[in-house]
Structure 1
Amino acid sequence: MPGTVHVIGAGLAGLAAAVRLATRGVAVVLHEAAPQAGGRCRSYFDKQLNAVIDNGNHLVLSGNTTMREFTRTIGSEHTLTGPDRAEFAFVDLESDERWTVRLSEGRLPWWIFDKHARVPGTKWSDYLSLAPLLRAGPDATMTDAMRCPPMLYKRLIHPLFLAVLNADPAEGSAQMAGAVIRETLVPGGKACHPLIASEGLDVTFVTPALAYLEAKGARVMMQHRVRELHFAADGSRVEAIDFGDGPEPLAVDDAVVLAVPPNVAASLVPSLTTPDEYRAIVNAHYQVPPPPGCPPMIGVVNGVSDWIFAFDGRLSVTISGADHLLDESRESLALRIWEEVARACKIPSTPMPVWQLVREKRATFAATPAQDKRRPGAKTRWQNLVLAGDWTATGLPATIEGALRSGNRAADLV
């Protein structure tokens, strides 16, 4: 067993590593540069809305096994809510058609043979076009690897994988898309029940993790930014960490889990190659109660919006791959999105409710084949330094599941 493990970064990857280590009885010190933990998966009080909101709307699925294990360990699994089957509502704002995709629970995809369960205007044979993604090579984009019929692509594949990859399928990695399909659609609907942190990301993933760590005797240090890692002259290990007051030596059996954003990791670790292209996400929040019967989430086709989420007293929208919206004025964009929300949810568009718009310019690394090749593994050439983060080589895109899995992997390597 190692001595003290310093986990640098309290995003989900760092929290996962710290929780796994603390569960094993390892002494853990968790360092976070920000005033609060959670990284990009955090909640905060918004004065405009007079409510606690998440910095982004994150969807997880029942088949995300690492996520389920993590929330079970920290005692928050009950805060994830959603339907008891794999149902996804959609609306086409151009034609005003509405439909619900209903996946069959087992491994056999009976749903594609049911015209009331699959996407309108598609045939069962259309869905076979997804199969090549399961054996795609590292250089292929989704549209390179598959020949998807237009109706299926526009009404399911594009909105689904734009959200999963935070990249348009035309540039998105086919290999990463295939990994997601292998863990969700292949096992069947039982792995695809949508789950939402209905009380907020903090309540599900962050606060209970910190409470768990405290109960296990871990030290948590907020606003404690690492300035430099000092490496031994023989190149074998990290020998000290500088948090701004000079190098703090590590014991021979101490270790470091570096769970910071890729650009920060690259500045701390010599010659480390990391993803260096990013994609934006826009989230809009409207202070209006969802109408009766509103689905918990609605996929939007032929709109600027991608997905609408219904929360208690609030409707929220997520737009992935949103770099093209970064320069539009807040007021103009918020109004455009609201008009789509009103149509999709069949509620009056006037007056426009109190709103908030959050643009995250570097929300995730670009999930392209080229950027995927820049993702490092967890192991480094230093025996007591490992990496964690959704940007490391998890095989998955930048997701909650990928972040947690990377944290577990790092903890297992210490």
Structure 2
Amino acid sequence: MKKCVVIGGGFAGLTAAAYLSNAGHSVELIEASPKLGGRAYSFQDRSTGDVIDNGQHIMMGCYKETLKFLSMIGASGNIEIQKQLDVIFLKKNYQLFHLKASSAPYPFNLLSALLHFTALSRTNRLSILKFFLKIFLVHPDRLKSLSVKQWLQIELQNEETIKSFWEILTVGTLNTSTEKASAKIFSDVLKEIFFKGTKSASIILPLKGLSETYCGQAANYLSKNDGIISLSEKVESLIFDVEKVVAVKTDKRVVENFDFVVTAVPFYALKKLGVAEILPELNVNYSTIVSIHLWLDINPLEEKFYGLIDSMIHWIFNHGKHITLVISNADYLSIRDKKEILEIALMELEKFTSIKRQDVISSKIIKEKRATFVPSNDLINKRPSSKTKIKNLFLAGDWTDTGLPSTIESAVKSGRTAAELIRVSAK
């Protein structure tokens, strides 16, 4: 049994800690915040008393690592998985369109979903189908220098198709624009969602607040395996001696006598720990997500969630008298006053639904300015692996080289990878 220190209590850190505990190692997780969850957590709203998420998260059936992690910690019952792809989209003037997989065998069920998606013209649906059929014919190296927008234009996707389909997919999966996003990582995402079986394209939603969905279960799992969680303790630096981490200095103490360290914090936080020399030169930019929580007197919405076409609002999540509007790729709103954001959002909401501003009895706006990293070609081609030149130091975090964008799945995969490398090193 080895002693391991995990720095960071988000999805990456909790996953690494859980897998290390599962392998029989002694684990201490240190988190600067008074709560677990990192950028994916829930809290009690003071005005209403309701538990809300800092940002609504959609997962998908292709999140194999996440599903495995949730199963291991006993949290599988806290999520709802669609049997197959089924999404209602809204256009202005209350128009509804259904993107739904049929009962036909895979892949014909997904083909049917696209061909019957009447939000797009027949010509545009066929154009998208041709794009999907060609996706495996494009060499990955060719995409490493292209943006999503450039790739789509090369493949003769017109502006209407880009605006009404590809931008929704790009912003929804990468939280950035088609102009900035790497074509290579977008290609990888499309293959994971649409070419790995029926379940991969299914939407997964938490049944509870994010903290209750996984943070509490992960903490209980670590506790049962004699793990230690130290909250409200900020790691200030790592102390090295001959290519080895020998101490972790926090704002409360110096932690020593351990075998391995996993850092599971964002890149900007990791640079402050005195490890700049072992990190590549990365230009990491971040993209904002704005969540607008509305409490309604009357809620006419019937579905659990909606996607919006040609709107600044990308998703609406329905929790009964409480709904959440999600605006991704929202840097343009980050400097706006919250009252102004609310006014803009309500005007937009009235164009797509029958909800009126007088129906709103309470609201809360949350800006996550560093919600995700921007998956540009420059960054995607330089992301570091979990293994470092320091023998007992391993990296985790969605920004490491997982082959995935900045998602829960990427964070979980990075944590599992770090734990697996330690398992091998500990032999």
- Structure 1, 134-143 or 323-332: larger mean CA deviation: 134-143
Cα distance, 1:153 vs structure 2: 2.0
Aligned partner of 1:139 among 145, 168, 183: 145
What is residue 31 of structure 2 aligned with on the other side?
32
What is residue 216 of structure 1 aligned with on the other side?
225
Deviations 1:164-189 (A, max 9, x none): 10110121111111121121111243
Cα distance, 1:276 vs structure 2: 2.3
Equivalent position amino acid for 1:141 in 2 = S
What is the identity percentage for the equivalent residue pairs of Structure 1 and Structure 2? 27
SS in 1 for 2:296: coil
What is residue 99 of structure 2 aligned with on the other side?
101
Contact 2:247/2:256, CA 8 A, preserved across alignment? yes
Contact 1:91/1:344, CA 8 A, preserved across alignment? yes
**Is residue 69 from structure 1 mapped to residue 75 from structure 2 by the alignment?**
no
Aligned partner of 2:331 among 312, 317, 323: 323
SS in 2 for 1:294: coil
Aligned partner of 2:199 among 190, 194, 205: 190
- Structure 1, 54-63 or 309-318: larger mean CA deviation: 309-318
Show the 5 A alignment for 1:110-121.
Answer: 110-112=109-111, 115-117=115-117, 119-121=119-121
* Distance in 1, Cα, partners of 2:102 & 2:127: 16
SS in 1 for 2:235: coil
Show the 5 A alignment for 1:336-347.
Answer: 336-347=344-355
Contact 2:12/2:415, CA 8 A, preserved across alignment? yes
* Distance in 1, Cα, partners of 2:349 & 2:50: 20
Show the 5 A alignment for 1:190-269.
Answer: 190-232=199-241, 234=242, 236-245=243-252, 247-251=254-258, 254-268=259-273, 269=275
TM-score, normalised via structure 2 length: 0.90
* Distance in 2, Cα, partners of 1:383 & 1:64: 30
Deviations 1:123-146 (A, max 9, x none): 334322245655443222112222
* Distance in 2, Cα, partners of 1:275 & 1:29: 31
Deviations 1:54-73 (A, max 9, x none): 11111001221111111111
Equivalent position amino acid for 1:242 in 2 = K
What is residue 17 of structure 2 aligned with on the other side?
18
* Distance in 1, Cα, partners of 2:329 & 2:14: 27
What is residue 163 of structure 1 aligned with on the other side?
172
* Distance in 2, Cα, partners of 1:59 & 1:113: 23
Contact 2:300/2:355, CA 8 A, preserved across alignment? no
SS in 2 for 1:67: helix
Cα distance, 1:198 vs structure 2: 2.4
Equivalent position amino acid for 1:258 in 2 = T
SS in 2 for 1:69: helix
What is residue 184 of structure 2 aligned with on the other side?
175
Equivalent position amino acid for 1:270 in 2 = A
CA 1:289–1:353 in 2, change beyond 3 Å: closer, same or farther? closer
* Distance in 1, Cα, partners of 2:255 & 2:79: 40
| Superposition RMSD in Å | 2.1
CA 1:246–1:348 in 2, change beyond 3 Å: closer, same or farther? closer
Equivalent position amino acid for 1:100 in 2 = H
**Is residue 365 from structure 1 mapped to residue 363 from structure 2 by the alignment?**
no
Structure 1: stretches of 5+ with no match in the other structure: none
* Distance in 1, Cα, partners of 2:66 & 2:270: 24
* Distance in 1, Cα, partners of 2:166 & 2:214: 29
SS in 2 for 1:304: coil
Contact 2:107/2:198, CA 8 A, preserved across alignment? no
- Structure 1, 308-317 or 150-159: larger mean CA deviation: 150-159
Contact 1:308/1:318, CA 8 A, preserved across alignment? yes
CA 1:350–1:218 in 2, change beyond 3 Å: closer, same or farther? same
Equivalent position amino acid for 1:244 in 2 = D
Equivalent position amino acid for 1:47 in 2 = R
Deviations 1:73-99 (A, max 9, x none): 111111112543211111122x64320
* Distance in 2, Cα, partners of 1:297 & 1:31: 36
What is residue 310 of structure 2 aligned with on the other side?
302
Contact 1:84/1:193, CA 8 A, preserved across alignment? yes
* Distance in 2, Cα, partners of 1:373 & 1:120: 34
* Distance in 1, Cα, partners of 2:82 & 2:117: 16
Cα distance, 1:357 vs structure 2: 0.5
Equivalent position amino acid for 1:138 in 2 = K
Aligned residues: 408
Deviations 1:309-337 (A, max 9, x none): 11143110111110011122211211221
- Structure 1, 80-89 or 40-49: larger mean CA deviation: 80-89
TM-score, normalised via structure 1 length: 0.92
* Distance in 1, Cα, partners of 2:347 & 2:198: 32
Show the 5 A alignment for 1:280-299.
Answer: 280-288=288-296, 291=299, 294-299=302-307
Cα distance, 1:280 vs structure 2: 0.8
Cα distance, 1:207 vs structure 2: 0.8
* Distance in 2, Cα, partners of 1:379 & 1:141: 29
Contact 1:275/1:374, CA 8 A, preserved across alignment? no
**Is residue 395 from structure 1 mapped to residue 415 from structure 2 by the alignment?**
no
Contact 1:288/1:314, CA 8 A, preserved across alignment? yes
Structure 2: stretches of 5+ with no match in the other structure: 423-427
Q: Quick check: which one's helix share is greater? A: 2
Cα distance, 1:204 vs structure 2: 1.4
